[in-house]
Structures are given as structure tokens and as C-alpha cells.
Amino acid sequence: MTEEIVVCENLSKRFIVGDSVVNAVNGVDVTFHREEFTSVVGPSGSGKTTLLNLIGTLEIPTTGKIIINGIDLSQFSTKDLTDFRRKNLGFVFQFFNLVEGLTGKENVELPLIFDGIPYEVRQSRVNEIFKEFEIENLQNKFPEELSSGERQRVAIMRALINEPILLLADEPTGNLDTNTGQTVLDLFKQLNSERGTSIALVTHDLAAAKRAKRILHMHDGKISFDQKNLDEEPEGMDEK
Ligand SMILES: Nc1ncnc2c1ncn2[C@@H]1O[C@H](COP(=O)(O)OP(=O)(O)OP(=O)(O)O)[C@@H](O)[C@H]1O
Ligand SMILES: [Mg+2]
């Protein structure tokens, strides 16, 4: 197995709303490896988004810890976490979250501006990524001029431009029709197999989840089943 990139130890997140307590993530131990494509599935409310947000440092754990690339994030301040997230993690969301007044190219360039990368370097990296994924035609269009699938492609480029340790995607096909969703899943698959991008993909859709090499099944804030080496199964395994 390749190098460990994310290690979660006894990870929990408890929300208290009024008189009720929700253990959204409840004592999870899980490790993600470099170049691994992992899906997270489970019923609504099982804690998928919370787990992804904890790994993405968007939520602070109630207990337990997260170690990314050997760095224990437990003692990080909010500012350190923001810097860490910006430099090391990429996010793709269900509703794309593109900035409406900026072109495709400017949206993808944004993380590099926040990172203080010089203009010339930014231009060449952004041009390169649009070229690599053959979507140069989207560079100068504004989000409102793009289809949903095109928006999601631009959002994926934006998530990748910093070469993140892990690409975190929460229901990235949730707002797409079936065919467009397939093309976006094809892109994730291609990123993983050709570029070696490490991916954690949350989805409701078991067929979509099966595009990954590993599926984590969540139930009541816990991982109930960790299904590994999926595409190493010999042909015809399901037919017996
Ligand atoms: N900010 C919050 N405040 C209070 N409760 C929350 C908060 N975020 C999540 N929860 C609760 O934690 C539990 C897990 O939620 P989470 O969003 O992680 O589930 P999910 O598996 O992503 O569900 P879905 O498939 O519907 O997106 C749910 O009971 C939810 O209501
Ligand atoms: Mg969710």
C-alpha cells in the first residue's frame, strides 16, 4: 500500500442543538493513502459530509485527531488551518461554488492569487491545466454561460490547481443529470489513474461509488464497512 496521507484517530464530531445531541461522526479510525480513490456512502444523516469536512479542516473535531502528511493538525490555530487547507487540500461541491463575476480562467486562478503566486506563473499554470483537460473553450466564459457539467469541470480544475494532497468532493454529481454525472465521474477516474490524484468522494449513489477502488460505508457516524481493492476483483465476481 502507498504512503499514508490522512490518518484519522478516534475522530468524533458532536453537534448540540437545543436539548438534542447528535454524534455526527462517532469514533472513526480511518487512513487514506496516496493515489487512492475512495468513495464514502451511507444513508442521509450518517455523517458523510461531517467526516469530509473534518478531514478538510472545515470542521474542528470534538475529540480525536487528524494527521495529514505526517502533520498533526490538533494544535493548529484557525489561521494556520486556513493556510494549511488552502495549500494542501482541494474541494469540489455539489453546487460548484464558482465566483459569478469571474471567468472560468479567473476562477481557477483564484487559489493561486490567495497563495501569492506571481502573475506569470499563474498564467502558465492555468493555461496548462485548461489545455491538459481540453477545455480551453471554457476559459473566457462566465459561470452563467456554462452548463452544469462545464461548471463542475471548471470547479474541479480550480480544486486541482494547487496540486492538493487530497481532492475532497461532496456529492459532485448531485446536481447533474445522469449522463453529465457520468462524464464528471469519468474525469475523477481519469485524474486518479493518469495523474495519481488522491480522491475522497462522498455520494449517495452506489453505482457512482463503485468507480472508486475503495468504498467506506457509513452508518450512524461510524464506518460500518471498509470495502477495499474494488477494481482488483477478477471479472465475473458479482455473478456467482
Ligand atoms: N452544523 C450542524 N449542526 C447540527 N447538526 C448537524 C450539523 N451538521 C450536521 N449535523 C447533523 O449531523 C448528522 C450527520 O450529518 P451529515 O451532514 O454529516 O450527514 P450526511 O451523511 O452528509 O447526510 P446527507 O446524505 O443528507 O448529505 C445529521 O444528523 C445532521 O443533522
Ligand atoms: Mg452530506
Taking a 5 Å cut-off on Cβ, the residues next to ion ligand 2 are: 49
- Has residue 229 been placed in a domain? yes
Q: Are strands 166-170 and 199-202 parallel, antiparallel or unpaired?
A: parallel
Measured by CA distance, the residue closest to atom 17 of ligand 1 is: 49
Percent of the chain whose predicted confidence (pLDDT) is above 70: 96
Cell of 175: 446536481
Based on the structure, what is the number of domains in the chain?
A: 1
187: domain CATH number?
Answer: 3.40.50.300
Tens-place pLDDT, residues 63-73: 999 999 999 99
Give the tens place of pLDDT for each residue, 127-143.
999 999 999 999 999 99
Radius of gyration of the chain (CA): 18
| Residue with CA nearest ligand 1 atom 27 | 44
What percent of the chain stands above pLDDT 90? Answer: 91
Domain carrying residue 54: 4-101+165-239
What is the pLDDT averaged over residues 107-114? 95
Looking at the CA of 50, name the nearest ligand: 1
Taking the centre of ligand 1 as the mean of its atom positions, its distance from the CA of residue 149, in whole angstroms, is 26
pLDDT of residue 232: 58
Mean pLDDT confidence for 34-59: 97
Contact 112, 125 (CB under 8 A): yes
- Whether residue 193 lies inside any domain: the answer is yes
Give the tens place of pLDDT for each residue, 144-184.
999 999 999 999 999 999 999 999 999 999 999 999 999 99
Assess if residue 175 is contained within a domain: yes
Cα–Cα dist 154/146, whole Å:
9
Q: Is residue 149 part of a domain?
A: no
Nearest CA to ligand 1 atom 29: 45
Question: Which residue from 16, 40, 44, 51 has its CB within 8 A of the most atoms of ligand 1, so it is best to mutate?
Answer: 44
Q: What's the pLDDT tens digit per position in 214-237?
A: 999 999 999 999 999 787 544 444
pLDDT score, position 231 = 72
**Average pLDDT taken over every residue of the chain:** 93
pLDDT band at residue 2 using 50, 70 and 90 as cut-offs: confident
Q: Whole-model pTM?
A: 0.93
Query: Is 109 part of any domain?
Result: no
Q: Is 17 in the pocket of ligand 1 (CB under 6 A)?
A: yes
Residue 59's contacts (CB-CB under 8 Å, 6 or more residues apart) are 13, 50, 53
The reply to whether 125 falls in a domain is no
Cα–ligand 1 centroid distance for 23 (angstroms): 9
- 3-class DSSP string for the chain: CCCEEEEEEEEEEEEEECCEEEEEEEEEEEEEECCCEEEEECCCCCCHHHHHHHHCCCCCCCEEEEEECCEECCCCCHHHHHHHHHHHEEEECCCCCCCCCCCHHHHHHHHHHHCCCCHHHHHHHHHHHHHHCCCHHHCCCCHHHCCHHHHHHHHHHHHHCCCCCEEEEECCCCCCCHHHHHHHHHHHHHHHHHHCCCEEEECCCHHHHCCCCEEEEEECCEEEEEECCHHHCCCCHHHC
